[in-house]
Amino acid sequence: MPEDWGEVAALYDIEQPSCRGDEARFWHDEAVAAGASSEHPVVELAAGSGRVAIAVARKGHHVIGVELSGRMIARAVGRSARLPEATRGRLRWIEADMATVDFGEVRPSLVFIAFNSFWLLDDEGQDRCLARLRDALAPDGRLVLDLFPPTEQDYTDEDGITQFLGRRWHGRSVLRVKDYRYDRATNRASSDVRYYSTDRDRGGPAAILAQFRYVLHPEAPERVHERLTKAGFSVQARYGTYARGPIEPESPRAIFIATVARTSVPELADRPRAQPSA
Do residue 238 and residue 195 come from a single domain? no
Distance CA 79, CA 63 (A): 14
Distance CA 145, CA 259 (A): 12
Distance CA 82, CA 20 (A): 18
Q: What is the pLDDT of residue 16?
A: 85
Report yes or no on 269 lying in a domain: no
Do residue 64 and residue 168 come from a single domain? no
Which structural domain range is residue 170 located in? Answer: 152-216
Do residue 98 and residue 234 come from a single domain? yes
Long-range CB contact pairs, 131-138, < 8 A, 24+: 131/231, 131/232, 132/99, 132/100, 132/101, 134/231, 134/232, 134/233, 134/260, 136/103, 136/106, 136/107, 136/108, 136/111, 137/107, 137/108, 137/109, 137/111, 137/259, 137/260, 138/40, 138/107, 138/108, 138/109
Do residue 102 and residue 50 come from a single domain? yes
Q: What is the pLDDT of residue 201?
A: 59
Q: What is the pLDDT of residue 230?
A: 97
Do residue 37 and residue 68 come from a single domain? yes
Q: What is the pLDDT of residue 44?
A: 98
Do residue 156 and residue 192 come from a single domain? yes
Report yes or no on 241 lying in a domain: yes
Q: What is the pLDDT of residue 266?
A: 41
b/e per residue 14-25 (b: at least 16 CB within 10 A): ebeeebeeebbb
Long-range CB contact pairs, 164-173, < 8 A, 24+: 164/198, 165/11, 165/14, 165/15, 167/14, 168/14, 169/10, 169/11, 169/14, 169/197, 169/209, 171/199, 172/197, 172/198, 172/199, 172/209, 173/197, 173/198, 173/199
Sign (positive/negative) of CA torsion 52, 53, 55, 60?
Answer: positive
Largest CA distance in the chain: 68
Do residue 115 and residue 129 come from a single domain? yes
Report yes or no on 265 lying in a domain: no
Report yes or no on 44 lying in a domain: yes
Do residue 53 and residue 103 come from a single domain? yes
Q: What is the pLDDT of residue 277?
A: 42
Do residue 172 and residue 66 come from a single domain? no
Do residue 78 and residue 211 come from a single domain? no
Residue ranges of the chain whose pLDDT lies below 70: 200-205, 263-278
Report yes or no on 268 lying in a domain: no
- CATH (domain of 137): 3.40.50.150
Do residue 110 and residue 244 come from a single domain? yes
* Closest to 231 measured CA to CA, from 270, 260, 257: 260
Q: What is the pLDDT of residue 7?
A: 78
The number of folded domains in the chain is 2
Report yes or no on 11 lying in a domain: yes
Q: Which of 191, 216, 241 is the last residue of a domain?
A: 216
Distance CA 71, CA 69 (A): 5
Q: What is the pLDDT of residue 202?
A: 60
CA angle 10–14–20, rounded 5-degree value: 125
Under 8 Å between Cβ of 55 and 19: yes
Strands (E), 14-153: 42-45, 63-67, 91-95, 110-113, 142-147
Do residue 144 and residue 166 come from a single domain? no
Report yes or no on 197 lying in a domain: yes
